[in-house]
Amino acid sequence: MSNHEAKDYADSVDVYLALSRTKDGEAARCMRMVVKHPEEDLFLLEQRCLYAGGKWRIHKTVNKRDTEKARKWLLKKLIDFPEGRGFVDSLWRTALLQPECIYGEKKFMLDIDSKDPLTLFKVEGAIQAASLKSAVETGYERNFILEKVETAHGWHYITAPFDTRVVLTIPNVSLQRDGYVYIKTIGDVHE
């Protein structure tokens, strides 16, 4: 018997996470998927969620994951915990999500639980001030805001690392140094 399964070699990958939450009136459940082909994999995860039923929020890792670092973590885990051989696929996804398995420059995610324009103005002002301070100190100017994603109750701002002390004094703003950015809600959506 031959193995004709496609093998995609990659130094880094993302991970999708689908969650059904008790605060949405659902049983707490989770599905994770290693992303090799973003559009196709997202479609497959959506289909799995619809098949399972209920309301699901789909997210993606903010930081890409380093497959070599994850491989080393997994091998050590299997040596220390040989019983894990029965669920090595789950351990692989767990390995990828370890904090030490971030690939490249780390990104931050600001979780802004507000759509109020004044709050967003304050957040962007604080980030701009940090950017200017950094440019003066390093002689290198960069835009810290890499991506803005609207969520059901606010925004996720993906940023380059910066001094977050000022922005975190703004109400309804929290920092995730390594988390998941919202993609979409599917299933029984009643908001």
Residues 114 and 53 in one domain: no
The mean pLDDT value for 38-44 works out to 96
Same domain, 113 and 57: no
Q: Which of 79, 101, 123 is the last residue of a domain?
A: 101
C-alpha of 172 from chain center: 19
| Domain boundary residue, one of 48, 73, 101 | 101
| Between 145 and 190, the higher pLDDT residue | 145
In a domain, 82, yes or no: yes
Query: Which of 101, 128, 158 is where one domain is finished?
Result: 101
What is the percent of the chain where pLDDT is above 70? Answer: 96
Q: At 167, which helix (H) or strand (E)?
A: none
Q: Is the pLDDT of residue 106 over 60?
A: yes
Do residues 94 and 113 both lie within one domain? Answer: no
pLDDT digits (tens, 9 = 90+) for 15-40: 999 999 888 777 889 999 999 999 99
**Helix runs in 15-116, H state only:** 38-52, 67-80, 88-96
Q: What domain range is 117 assigned to?
A: 108-178
Q: End-to-end CA distance of the chain, in Å?
A: 50
What's the predicted TM-score (pTM) here? 0.85
